[in-house]
Amino acid sequence: MAVSQSVVGRANSEKAHGIIGLLKNPFVSLTCCFASLGCIMYGYDQGVMGPILVMENFQNHFPTFGGSTIQGWLVSALELGAWAGALINGILADRISRKYAMMTAVFIFTLGTGLQAGAQTPAYFFAGRIIGGVGIGMFSMVIPLYQAEIAPPELRGSLVSLQQLSITLGTAISFWLDYGMQFVGGTTCNPEGISNPYLASGAFNASLSNGHTCLGQKTIAWRLPLAIQIIPAWILFFGMFYFPFSPRWLMMKHREDEALASLSRLRRLPATDSHVRAEFLEIKAAVMFDEETEREAVGSGGALAPWKALFVPNMLKRLFLGCGTMICQQFTGINAVLYYAPQIFASFGFSSTKQTLLATGVTGILQIIFTLPAVLYLDKFGRKTFLIVGAIGMLCCHIVVATVEGIYKPKWDLNEGLNKGQGWVAIVFIWLFAGLGL
């Protein structure tokens, strides 16, 4: 086995990993957990929309959102904003710090959430999804960066994976909150003046009921789940005042004394401790090397030289592997499950909104359960092991669900309650798929 040439690496290789290591480093562990509030909001925003789309009161307010195409645009608007937010936040986090970049994201996220929760027209709702997505993208970029920079090396994998655990926790909270809120006033709209607001297929006729007040399900059933995510956002905002800056960012700004003090605080050791000094000097050496390398590259190749370096042969393979892995992970279809879980479960022959939302809630719980081993054992078993096991499991789930649906979908489409047992088989493997995909 290769021996680390790093003083910090050799020392930390002998320290506890997993849950024992987290308990022995309570301050940095709790700091990373608190920062993960932003990721809880990411997961919450991913999960909250799907169940709301099937609520009759929401459909009554926005009948134009009934088609699959417009629903696709509505859901993807969040991701469009998130793409932009992640893209711009790298520069912002380097300039004003990781802490202040997170706090800036709270303002943007609050604006987007307010527009969604108070929307009276589709235009406002779309604007809220995009603006809220910008804030979410900023969170998803800067929070794991902050966690990685403050975490001790032996716990870095576990602490950064808190991001994914927090996303699954946020998704589960949104699923179950939506499930509970659907009962406010009743599970049906019961539009005033319309005796039968349903189509022959049993679907709610939103176009017919639009403009008629729902006497049953209340507007708060979907407005509150959209609005309540502002609370953790502002808890994060005010809490970040009490947490340290990233030592690496402070070193990048040549604030060495503050970087040493921040590192000492995070490690709960005096600044004179040999391990703190060694880690401090390694951070300083890494920053100096990066600055010198960039200075030479810009001097010989111009301002775009650091970007061009990504495409030289020895870096292109790493770029391809890193980006390709993330792209393939998204193309597995995991986000489709998160965004359209109620509609997917309904396609398995379950017409009851209550049943589909309940099944969606179970999805959120299983995601948390399947993510916990990564948090506890990622540094022990390695990233590749979890990636391979998850990919094989998802492949098997894909095969089972595709086979069952291919055989029984014609009967499910009759909407006569046929082959419910096979429908539950498909749901169980969707649950497993969602858990393994994270």
DSSP 51-72: HHHT-HHHHHH-GGGGSHHHHH
Question: Is there a contact between 349 and 420 (Cβ–Cβ < 8 Å)?
Answer: yes
DSSP SS3 for 214: strand
**pLDDT by residue for the chain (438 residues), tens digit each?**
444 456 555 555 556 566 677 777 888 889 988 999 999 998 898 889 888 988 999 999 999 998 888 888 888 898 899 999 999 999 999 999 999 999 999 999 999 999 999 999 999 999 999 999 999 999 999 999 999 999 888 788 778 888 888 988 998 999 999 999 999 998 899 999 998 999 887 789 998 999 899 999 999 999 999 999 999 999 999 999 999 999 999 999 999 999 999 999 998 889 999 889 999 999 999 999 988 888 887 877 777 777 777 788 888 888 888 888 888 887 888 878 877 888 888 888 776 777 788 888 888 888 888 888 877 777 777 778 888 888 898 889 989 988 998 888 888 877 766 677 888 888 888 888 887 766
**What span, in angstroms and rounded, lies between the C-alpha atoms of 14 and 391?**
31
Residue where the block lists tokens 């994201």: 105
In 3D, which of 157, 168, 146, 152 has the Cα closest to residue 236?
146
Q: Taking a C-beta distance cutoff of 8 angstroms, is the pair 224, 231 a contact? A: no
Q: Which of 365, 362, 359, 366 is nearest to 344 (CA)?
A: 359
User: Nearest to residue 335, comparing CAs of 438, 197, 190?
Assistant: 438
Residue 341: which residues within 8 A CB-CB, separation 6 or more?
Answer: 47, 50, 51, 175, 356, 359, 360, 363, 430, 434
Q: What are the extents of the domains in the chain?
A: 17-243, 253-310, 315-437
Tokens of 86: 């992640």
What is the 3-state composition of the chain as percent helix, strand, coil, each rounded to the nearest 5?
Answer: 80, 0, 20
| pTM for this model (two decimals) | 0.84
Q: What is the CATH number of domain 17-243?
A: 1.20.1250.20
From CA 144, how far away is CA 152, in angstroms rounded?
14
Residue 3: predicted pLDDT: 47
Distance CA 8, CA 2 (A): 15
- From residue 136, alpha-carbon distances to 39, 89, 170, 365 in Å are 8, 11, 12, 22
Residue 164's nearest CA partner among 321, 375, 408 is: 375
Say how many CA atoms lie within 13 Å of 149 toward its Cβ.
27
Q: Which residues contact 36 (CB under 8 A, 6 or more apart)?
A: 143, 147, 162, 163, 165, 166
Determine the pLDDT at residue 326. Answer: 82
Identical fold between 17-243 and 315-437:
yes
Written as one letter, the residue type at 83 is W
State the Cα angle at 379 between 373 and 380, rounded to 5°: 80
* Continuous H helices in 245-312: 247-252, 256-267, 274-301, 305-308
Query: Are residues 309 and 315 in contact, defined by beta-carbon separation less than 8 angstroms?
Result: yes
Q: Are 32 and 58 in contact (CB under 8 A)?
A: no
CATH 1.20.120.430 matches 315-437: no
